[in-house]
Chain A
């Protein structure tokens, strides 16, 4: 396990790289879903304001 974390001495470079990339992925997922949620809420509001069918 320790060798795994150490990455042959390159651990200080490898793990931050992976962490950053997965942070970017996670942020993208979060932001995309949030954008959709907000757009849906805004659309519902606009439809309600517009009135009936």
Chain B
């Protein structure tokens, strides 16, 4: 029974209709969670013992960073599925992920930089985490650049899928090798998101934001996925009825 459901996920009309129905169920809860998280993080949570009110950047920085990594993983997984089983919908998912992931990587880098300046006295640090995040941005840009450079959609799907999968292998290698490099050069400080044990009043808004951003990704993905499916289905008859809805 579950196998049939999985099978149907490979069918563009089914996925298109499902995406259309599901989007509001993700978008509105996302908005609510994010608003609740904002209220909790900006108003209710007490100032941090060490960082004062500056720590509140975490409520936008951590979810952005989470997004950058989660979206890339989703993209790579979808790309792998599309490559191995030749499922068009999977390639459409991967294509939809990239611009979302890239923009949140930028957000993560910039908010992190703005957090770093007052806290650690520098806008930038070549420590493993920041460097890996920057490389992640380049991987997204490379992925989108490759897609843009190939005109044939099917070829673009498959070529960028190879790149996404190779990139996934690269991310831990980069992080590991930069850790090695840093341990050689003895990096001056280690970045921490916050004190290891966060008070509930601080933690709960963060969890709300993380959940809200995740659902937001889902909603954005579904909207972009529909666009990607439409582009790939050309003038397939089922589109007529689907577009009328």
A24 and B107 contact, CB distance less than 8 A: yes
A39 and B220 contact, CB distance less than 8 A: no
- Count of interface residues, chain B, beta-carbon cutoff 8 Å: 40
Interface string of A17-40 (1 = CB under 8 A from B): 110111011011101110110111
CB distance from A15 to the nearest CB of B (A): 10
Q: Which chain A residues border B121 with CB–CB below 8 Å?
A: none
Determine the main DSSP class of B at the interface with A.
helix
A21 to B54, CA, bound (A): 16
* Residue of B with least CB distance to A21: B60
- Count of interface residues, chain A, beta-carbon cutoff 8 Å: 35
Q: Which chain A residues border B91 with CB–CB below 8 Å?
A: none
A35 and B111 contact, CB distance less than 8 A: no
A11 to B235, CA, bound (A): 53
A14 and B220 contact, CB distance less than 8 A: no
Given A31-B99, A39-B231, A53-B240: A17 and B61 interface contact (C-beta under 8 Å): yes
Does B153 interact with chain A (Cβ within 8 Å)?
no
B111 and A20 contact, CB distance less than 8 A: yes
B227 and A47 contact, CB distance less than 8 A: no
Q: Which chain A residues border B107 with CB–CB below 8 Å?
A: 20-21, 24
B235 and A46 contact, CB distance less than 8 A: yes
| Between-chain CB contacts (< 8 Å), 23 pairs | A4-B42, A8-B47, A9-B52, A10-B118, A13-B54, A13-B118, A17-B57, A21-B60, A21-B61, A24-B104, A32-B220, A32-B223, A32-B224, A35-B227, A39-B226, A39-B227, A39-B231, A40-B230, A43-B230, A46-B234, A47-B243, A49-B235, A53-B237
Query: Which A residues lie at the B interface, using CB under 8 A?
Result: 4, 6-10, 13-14, 16-18, 20-22, 24-25, 27-29, 31-33, 35-36, 38-40, 42-44, 46-47, 49-50, 53
